[in-house]
Structure 1
């Protein structure tokens, strides 16, 4: 593969992979993508980009060869001979990774190193399958904080929405309509009455039927409170006739 043969999608993926393996998780492209998660307007685009990079390698017929090309390494001759086996065994004994001097670590890099060992032994299918897993682990590891926070926020938002829907299904207090009407009539007659006085009167009248907290919320959410007067006056509850 040459640069001229690369599709636009491959070029985009190559840019992110190349920067990631050269400059690490703080590279310009990766930092820009990470910042995308912090903005509600671009978070879904950022998550899609991570998914698209993973998906690109999952759908590739030659993920290891493309991966090596993207990070600037010529794909070496593969196959089993005495020299290659001895080299690989020596690397294994000395715990020498294929991917050296890179600013990355973790399960994804471990899997990619193992995939490269299989690749250079000529085990293309096993190597490619493990490479796809390695890329997925790598990308999800690099963006683990952003993905976790985003998914947590989505779960929390869903929980709040579900709770609100469930609350909306519950029947309102049988006294709700009556109390709202009393609030309306009382403040119409006593526009200079204080909210605290109205709440005290309602709490006394509906004691054992409606909690004080509920009455306070109903008053606040009713939108019936008159403008603040220069001086508050006493009031008495006014009931519908």
Structure 2
């Protein structure tokens, strides 16, 4: 099972929107896909139409070793796409795990028994670089970084890259960055073009060619419990995520590493 963490410690960069729609697009190609909601806000769960009452077992239970992947997993309305939902209980996991020796490897251990069930797993991280995100980076093969096209996003990217380097040195040497995707792109704004140019100059081929535009339909879709690709597959945002998914597939291993 290929494991891809979607992370950026800065909030409001389109991280969860990217997680939902990329997971949907990959599932649509026939890949057995698992999305793990590791954000206590539970937005990925809500965006896929999972009501709070159905989240009996969640990522909190998974990290606290009170439930298995199979027990926590729920089917979504999207064929080939399952989710492990999040609840607000997850916000207490970082405090509860502090004293545990394996505190950054709980998710990795939990996923070890699920490799043969899925081809790919996406992990939607919270907007922080705390224990939850470290668990995701420890468990993942690759990191995908949504980056909003604004000046302060560049500073956040620098901090994230430093964290990745520390994770590679001390926790997960095999972690790599599969790509950076530019989000909330507005061609009418000169700053947007300037930031995109700076990012591409700094990171080169790591930056995906596809950019995700600012799009009202992307913002509306979660309120209907649907990915934008289902809510309005012809809108500019949906078309961009389908193009991004094709790029991502081109960077993923040909073999899905399923046991």
TM-score (norm 2): 0.26
Higher helix share: 1
Higher strand share: 2
Between structure 1 and structure 2, the one with the greater Rg is 1
TM-score (norm 1): 0.28
**Greater relative contact order structure (CA < 8 Å, 6+ sep):** 2
